[in-house]
Amino acid sequence: MENTNKQNKVDKLIKFTPLYKTINIDSDNYQFIFSFLNENFSNQFDSYCIHCKNESTFKKVTDESYTYNLQLKKITAQDLSIFYGFHLIEYKCSRNETHSYSFSYRFQDLELTKIGQFPSIADIATQTIQKYRKVLKKDYNDFSRAIGLYSHGVGAGSFVYLRRIFENLIEETKEKFSSTQSDWNDDKYQKSRMDEKIDILKSDLPEFLVKNRILYGILSKGIHELSEEKCIELFPHVKLAIELILDEKLANIERESKIKNLSEIMSSTATEL
């Protein structure tokens, strides 16, 4: 459990903290921050490598000649004061050590601020969402913009684009579904709330979307009510929910393609025989 908590903290600082986000340090995380900023302690995280074009594990570059048992000492605010200033932390790809990611932080007055990284959050995320281009079509640029805004610390603005994607997924399904229904009542549909629209279209929508229709409410609340900080905190989770919906659509497209190809082969084989 301790290792899991530590890894979650590493992931949060590296993968899910946008630029210029400040984290307050207190006695609950003195020990972790001491090891995170110290060049003699290792940690790692999993991410997409933009050079390998594949998922990989990135390991912190450390001074292996130095050993120190952190468990022997309880870290205090005084111990952390030696780290006041700027820090550049480098991580190397386990697939190819010439591939590296770097992250910059400023530590002052028990506050840690992420001030830079290369490649950017947007650079990494844009590579990972390439596979959704065929299902998002014109909305692909909106997905990319949402990620770009988040990477620069814009919360509510990023939610605007994610909500538009959600709405367009529903609208696309509605166009196909309504064309097959002889008793379709468009006036009734247009006057329905989003959760009611999802219920009407549920037979043709991804199962994850139907079961998690609350996602739309979260996006709307983020745009109109939630603070920027809360939107930024929620963004990775909401983005993942959108990706799960798109993953299901991709799987259905692939399945339909396989069925079509196999049917054509069977038909051609039957004719030959």
DSSP 67: -
Domain boundary assignment for the chain: 2-119, 125-272
What is the token pair recorded at 174? 């509605």
Residue 119, preceding bond cis, omega within 30 degrees? yes
Q: Supply the pLDDT for residue 64.
A: 62
Q: Residue 134 — φ and ψ, nearest 5°?
A: -70, -25
Measured from the Cβ of residue 170, the count of other Cβ atoms closer than 10 Å reads 19
Exposure class string for 31-63: b at 16+ Cβ within 10 A, else e:
bbbbbbbbeebebebebbbbeeeeebebbbeee
- Reported as a single tens digit per residue, the pLDDT across 30-74 is 999 999 999 888 899 999 999 999 999 999 998 765 555 555 578
Q: Supply the pLDDT for residue 4.
A: 74
Q: Supply the pLDDT for residue 217.
A: 94
- Phi and psi based region of residue 70 (left: phi greater than 0; alpha: psi -120 to 50; beta: remaining): alpha
pLDDT tens per residue, the chain (273 residues)? Answer: 666 778 888 998 998 888 888 999 999 899 999 999 998 888 999 999 999 999 999 999 987 655 555 555 788 899 999 999 999 999 999 999 999 999 999 999 999 999 999 998 888 888 889 889 989 988 999 999 999 898 888 999 999 999 999 999 999 999 999 999 989 999 999 999 999 999 999 999 999 999 999 999 999 999 999 999 899 989 989 999 999 999 998 998 888 889 988 888 888 887 776
Q: Supply the pLDDT for residue 71.
A: 57
Report which of 18, 47, 14, 11 is spatially closest to residue 151, judged by C-alpha positions.
Answer: 18
Which residue in this structure is represented by tokens 């799987």?
251
